[in-house]
Amino acid sequence: MSDRIIFEDVSKFYGEILGVNRVNLSILPGITSLVGPNGSGKTTLMNLMTGLVKPSRGRVEILGYRTDDSENLFKILGYSTQFDAFPKGLTGFQFVYSYLRLAGRDRETAEQLAWRVIERVNLVDAANRNIAAYSKGMRQRIRLALALAHDPKVLVLDEPLNGLDPLARSEMIALFRATAAQGCYVIISSHILHEVDVISDQIILLSNGYVVAEGQIATVRGEIQEHPTQILIRCSRPRELAAKMLENEFTIEVSIHKDERGLLLKTRDADRFYLALNDLALNGTDIESIAPADDDVLSVYEYLIGNEEAVR
């Protein structure tokens, strides 16, 4: 049995319209974020992963299971969709309970599992209310409960933080992290880049149906050669340090921070830059901290896709 989520030369067309094209991916355990503007193919990729749509070309395999083998696939996979519709007339509890009964669980087990997961998403008080009366955030949480109900190894979450208040967001992020820490695969799509930045182990950047980049954020950033690396240095005498750094040919641009307690440098050769900085520190230049300023998702997104529709 494979230990990866594999996309092999996958394309999906909706008639004449491109969903995704020639996608090759090999996703490892941990939190993987799908990032891209609206219409970039994030949901299509998730629907392909869960068999809700079939690839026009290529092959998708989830830990060795074919996506048309729903009986076995969904024993290891839970999907929280963006579709904001539910079977009519069900309460939150009945929604999760019915799903577990569909999964073949007996009544007692289904009840226990349903209450356990409803507790996990903090929805116990509203569990016996009709879903039609739920707020957007509650509906989001009950969808998450459904995806988590059978303890899946692979969790696919389409915009899972939409509609949640800040407290619920942080609770959910903690939940995703805990799930990933158990060796699970958590695939998240999100518009909210700073959250993606905080939670992701790796990202898949999509634009117009194509995978633009994939991997760990720092690695992806390192591969973007046309944009110089930005580094923020905190120090007591920024002007003095700026002058010294400009003597190196690999320093492209230096600007003094607004608070006069640091400077922002741009370099095309980060390795040599850090060596030079080490020398300066050893020679007595006062440096408080050094941190990369653009190896986050937001920067990578802006460099590769532009700033359209990104939510910071």
Partner 1 sequence: MTPVWWSQIKAVIRLEIKKTFFAKRGLWIYLVAALPVLLFVAYAIATSGQQNRRASIARQSERPLSYQDLLAVQPGMTSQEVIAILGKPPINFHWTENRPTETGKEREKEPTIEVSHEDYHYSDGQSELYVGLADGKVKSIHLQEANNLGQDSIMFAGVFQFFFLRLAIFFGCLGIFMNLFRGEILDRSLHFYFLAPIRREVVMTGKFLAGLLATCTIFVTSELLQTIAFLWHLPSNVRDVYLNQNHGLEHAAIYLGVTVLACIGYGAFFLVAGMLFRNPILPTAAILIWEAINPFLPGILKQFSVIYYLKSLCPVDIPSAPGTSPVLALLISNADPVSPPLAVLGILVVALIALYASSLQVRRMEINYTTE
Q: Which residues bind partner 1 (CB under 8 A)?
A: 14, 47, 50-54, 68, 70-75, 78-79, 81, 83-89, 98-99, 101-104, 106, 146, 150
Using the minimum distance from each CB to partner 1, give the nearer residue, 160 or 238.
160
Using the minimum distance from each CB to partner 1, give the nearer residue, 106 or 226.
106
CA distances from 302 to 22, 190, 224, 263, 299 (A): 23, 15, 11, 22, 5
Using the minimum distance from each CB to partner 1, give the nearer residue, 19 or 262.
19
Using the minimum distance from each CB to partner 1, give the nearer residue, 73 or 203.
73
Closest approach, Cβ 101 to partner 1, in A, equals 4
Instruction: Please work out, in degrees rounded to the nearest 5, the angle formed at the alpha carbon of residue 69 by the alpha carbons of 66 and 74.
Output: 100
Which residues share a beta bridge with 254?
265
Closest approach, Cβ 69 to partner 1, in A, equals 9
Closest approach, Cβ 19 to partner 1, in A, equals 10
**Phi and psi at residue 87, in whole multiples of 5°?**
-55, 140
Using the minimum distance from each CB to partner 1, give the nearer residue, 5 or 265.
5
Closest approach, Cβ 89 to partner 1, in A, equals 6
Which residues share a beta bridge with 231?
265, 292
**Phi and psi at residue 302, in whole multiples of 5°?**
-65, -40
Closest approach, Cβ 276 to partner 1, in A, equals 54
| Helix/strand/coil for 117 | helix
Using the minimum distance from each CB to partner 1, give the nearer residue, 78 or 228.
78
**For residue 264, what is the DSSP state?**
E
Closest approach, Cβ 51 to partner 1, in A, equals 7
Best CA proximity match to 58, nearest among 92, 29, 107, 24: 24
Q: Report how far residue 205's alpha carbon sits from residue 36's, in angstroms, rounded to the nearest whole number.
A: 6
CA distances from 237 to 138, 252, 260 (A): 51, 20, 8
Q: Report how far residue 99's alpha carbon sits from residue 105's, in angstroms, rounded to the nearest whole number.
A: 9
Closest approach, Cβ 238 to partner 1, in A, equals 53
Q: Report how far residue 233's alpha carbon sits from residue 288's, in angstroms, rounded to the nearest whole number.
A: 7
Burial class (CB in 10 A: 0-12, 13-18, 19+), 38: exposed
Using the minimum distance from each CB to partner 1, give the nearer residue, 145 or 304.
145
Instruction: Decide if 12 contacts 55 (C-beta within 8 A).
Output: yes
Strands 251-256, 262-267: pairing is antiparallel
- Residue 37 structure tokens: 């503007």
Using the minimum distance from each CB to partner 1, give the nearer residue, 23 or 146.
146
Closest approach, Cβ 81 to partner 1, in A, equals 6
